[in-house]
Chain A
Amino acid sequence: MSEQDQFRELIEGYAIGALDPNERLALEAHLAEGCPECAKALEEGRLLVSQLAYLAPPAEPSEMLKARLLRTVRAESAPAKIAETKSPGRSIPLWLWAGVAALLFLSVYSSWDARKLQNTVQDMKAREAAELKQREQLNQELTLAKHEAWILTDPNSKKIDIMPNDKAMPVLEAVWHPQMGIYITGQKMPMPKGNKVLQLWLIPKAPGAKPMPSHTFWPDANGKITEMVDDPPEVMAQTKALAITEEPAGGSQQPTSTPIWVGGVS
């Protein structure tokens, strides 16, 4: 059987997601080389596999689900329309400005109330500043969450299994979006020994090229890793693999130990 035939036999298993890691990586490498026959067979395989959904016993969602969805969608749709009509940069509601203006106007005619008014305005400003700060923090968190969601769901992202050298260690997963960066996750991770950290390396395809250092990170107290690398130093197409080593605190410019995890990029 030719090598091409061997890959062709893997297509249906790949489309349904049943290939074991070695076969999957081999087929992905073959597909990355641009085999048109296998690419076409895979597209057909995916369509075919999607038809298996019709084997599911008939079931209907509740009306509440539709109501919840529509409420959310309409709510998300409405603010966008309102925002379009607002002038750019206006973040403080008009009523608030009107309230402040009214108080200022009264202060001119009511000197006895000036101090109270001043305190009120200061209090409002302090509250406004606190709210702006909170909003800014929420926006940052939202941006990060969107960033992660984008990477995880965008069709241009590539999933990379980062396999351990030691089978007792967990498999890590990276999802790499060419523009948005790399999102690495893992569970049940052991804490690095001593004062060391885990460091990500990008191994270039070019023969003799040195590994590119990237982020350093630690598992959390539960052994979980969720690491966002939004500034990978090398483009995906020029990268052969991702590797993770243990390095002294602060990271290294060149690996000082053998990689504990390695995942092929293509």
Chain B
Amino acid sequence: MTSKYGDDASADAKLVDRFLRRDVSAFEELYDRHCRIVYALVMRIVQQAPTAEEVVQDVFLHLWRNAGQYQSARGPFVPWLLTLARNRALDHLRLKSERQRRREDQTEDMPAIAQAPEYEKALDEKRRAERVRSLMGTLSAPQKKAIEMAYFEGLSHSEIANALQEPLGTVKSWIRNGLLRLKEGLRTAS
């Protein structure tokens, strides 16, 4: 999933700046850089290629039509894009199943992603993917499963506890401790 341009953060920032000025070629470059990870994420959530393409199209058109929503001063672009893509995919999933939304809504996700810490700046996309997978591999199988159910399926602690037949407190600890270990591991990698 490495982009053909590499993942130089400053190049990304310049590209976003051109994109915000409605430069179609910048939009195309941004798409080329990030479509694979966005598609992979959406595909993992919705599980069907035609639906995934529909959601990815929706995500990038939203970017184009609402370019001003992204503000580089308030957080790095790629996590913002991935958050948008995840929320759109989960929305699609929930609309399909008519489940109520329990996650934090995208409108609150968007503005407050932290400025990239060192690990975000230092790791290119491929290394970051390898590192995240490697760190997740150190978690116990049910702990990893619980985090994936929350992230990719949009399930709440209670729903995960029910699905895994585990105490609610155990599931909460799994997810929190797993994320904290992931955070520490990424920080160490920087």
Contact present for A47 and B117 (CB under 8 Å)? yes
Which residues of B lie under 8 Å from residue A159 when comparing CB positions? 101, 104-105, 107-108
Q: A20-B158, A70-B24 are in contact. Are A57 and B44 (CB under 8 A)?
A: yes
Contact present for B116 and A47 (CB under 8 Å)? yes
A contacts with B, residue count (CB < 8 A): 61
Main SS class of interface, B: helix
Report the minimum CB–CB distance from B146 to chain A (whole Å).
9
B155-190 CB mask vs A (1 if < 8 Å, else 0) is 111101000000000001001100110110010000
Which residues of B lie under 8 Å from residue A47 when comparing CB positions? 75-76, 79, 113-114, 116-117, 120
Contact present for A55 and B117 (CB under 8 Å)? no
Report the minimum CB–CB distance from A43 to chain B (whole Å).
4
Contact present for B107 and A154 (CB under 8 Å)? yes
Measured CA separation A18–B35 after assembly (Å): 26
Which residues of A lie under 8 Å from residue B186 when comparing CB positions? 48, 51
B14 contacts chain A at the CB level, 8 A cutoff: no
Contact present for B103 and A54 (CB under 8 Å)? no
A131 contacts chain B at the CB level, 8 A cutoff: no
Q: A61-B39, A73-B64 are in contact. Are A46 and B28 (CB under 8 A)?
A: no
Which of A65, A76, A187 has its CB near the most chain B CB atoms (within 10 A)?
Answer: A65
Measured CA separation A17–B93 after assembly (Å): 15
Q: A16-B151, A66-B31 are in contact. Are A59 and B43 (CB under 8 A)?
A: yes
Measured CA separation A161–B62 after assembly (Å): 24
Contact present for A69 and B57 (CB under 8 Å)? yes
B contacts with A, residue count (CB < 8 A): 81
B128 contacts chain A at the CB level, 8 A cutoff: yes
B8 contacts chain A at the CB level, 8 A cutoff: no
Which residues of B lie under 8 Å from residue A17 when comparing CB positions? 90, 102-104, 150, 154, 156
Contact present for A54 and B132 (CB under 8 Å)? yes
B41 contacts chain A at the CB level, 8 A cutoff: yes
Measured CA separation A64–B90 after assembly (Å): 23
A241 contacts chain B at the CB level, 8 A cutoff: no
Additional pairs, 20, CB under 8 Å, beyond known A43-B112, A48-B186, A50-B113: A17-B103, A18-B102, A18-B103, A20-B102, A39-B112, A46-B113, A47-B120, A49-B179, A51-B186, A54-B125, A59-B36, A59-B40, A60-B35, A65-B56, A66-B31, A66-B32, A68-B57, A70-B28, A153-B69, A159-B105
Which residues of A approach B to under 8 Å, CB–CB?
A: 9, 12-21, 24, 39-40, 42-62, 64-66, 68-70, 72-74, 76-77, 152-159, 161, 170-171, 173, 175, 187-188
The contact sample of 14 A-B pairs, CB cut-off 8 A, is A18-B155, A21-B102, A46-B109, A48-B182, A48-B186, A50-B78, A51-B182, A55-B44, A55-B132, A57-B40, A62-B53, A70-B24, A77-B22, A159-B104
